Amino acid sequence: VRSSFGGKTVLVTGAGQGIGRAVCKKLVDSGAHVLALSRTADPHLNSLAAECAELSGKIETYEIDLSNWDATRDLVEKLAPRVDCLVNNAGRSLLESFLEMKPESFDMIMEVNVKAVINVSQVVCKAMINRGHNGSVVNVSSIASTLAVKDHTAYCASKGALDTVTKVMALELGPNKIRVNAVNPTVVLTPMGLYAWSDPKKADPMIARIPLGKFIGEEDVVNAILFLLSDQNGMIHGACLPIDGGLSCW
């Protein structure tokens, strides 16, 4: 899908690595002006800015820890008046068995995977409403929102919450002409994916359950995000779209 984002400003969180980085590059390539927020400037955001400059693309990068509610709100309030579309992509995962999961791990994951989405979206969507603007939001959830994954208690809980937040956002923001959807990928071998799935003893049984027989690529997620975000999508709203090679058919 090559959607045109010419003239649009898109805020992307978790832009330094993995899916968020690939989304930023595709958006820049599609003509968007990208506001890229992430935790680490050097080397992640700085190298992204350099690569986008080579594409003659428009990108601004901002180093921010999204688990800091107030600092995030201050930054996003400055950017929000310009934002047409929002991709809430930043996420954390941590491998801990259910019996050993620590309360601070649960809090850390919920801060980024759920609370930061609410925080950023509140500010951006209020600004869209004030401008009488038709906006669009895509939240990056996971197939783990509905599928139990071993050693991922906090992560699964956070993505289940994110799906529900997405639906409430769709319910409340739809009348303001702001479309809200989620994408729910299975494993993508980004730095986060490699952390959990690089051992073939874990990966192979998971792949065996995927009817299309492989993990998905960054491009599969990027294309779905850009389609849902774009004006090509008029009426898909409140959806949580599996991108999983059929894993959720079981």
Min dist CB 132 to ligand NDP, Å, is 30
**What amino acid occupies position 24?**
C
Which of these segments, 47-55, 73-81, 84-92, 123-131, binds ligand NDP (CB under 6 A)? 84-92
Q: Does 92 bind ligand NDP (CB under 6 A)?
A: yes
According to the binding rule CB under 6 A, does residue 191 interact with ligand NDP? yes
Q: Which is nearer to ligand NDP, 56 or 201 (CB)?
A: 201
Distances (CA, A) of 214 to 70, 148, 219: 41, 19, 14
Under rule CB under 6 A, residue 89 binds ligand NDP: yes
Of 16-24, 27-35, 74-82, 119-127: span binding ligand NDP (CB under 6 A): 16-24
Would the CA dihedral through 61, 123, 112, 163 be positive or negative?
negative
By C-beta, is 174 or 213 nearer to ligand NDP? Answer: 213
115 is a catalytic site residue: no
Do residues 143 and 192 touch, judged by C-beta distance below 8 A? no
Find the binder of ligand NDP among 30, 142, 145, 230 (CB under 6 A): 142
Question: Computed over its alpha carbons, how large is the radius of gyration of the chain?
Answer: 17
**Active-site residue, 159 included:** yes
Residues touching ligand NDP: how many (CB under 6 A)? Answer: 28
Tell which one of 80, 85, 117, 140 touches ligand NDP (CB under 6 A): 140
Nearest Cα neighbor of 67 from 104, 41, 18 is 104
Where does the chain have alpha helices with state H? 18-29, 46-54, 69-79, 103-110, 116-130, 153-173, 191-197, 200-208, 218-229
CA atoms within 13 A on the CB side of 129: 11
> Which residues contribute to the site for ligand NDP (CB under 6 A)?
14, 16-20, 38-40, 44, 64-67, 89-92, 112, 140, 142, 185, 187-188, 190-193
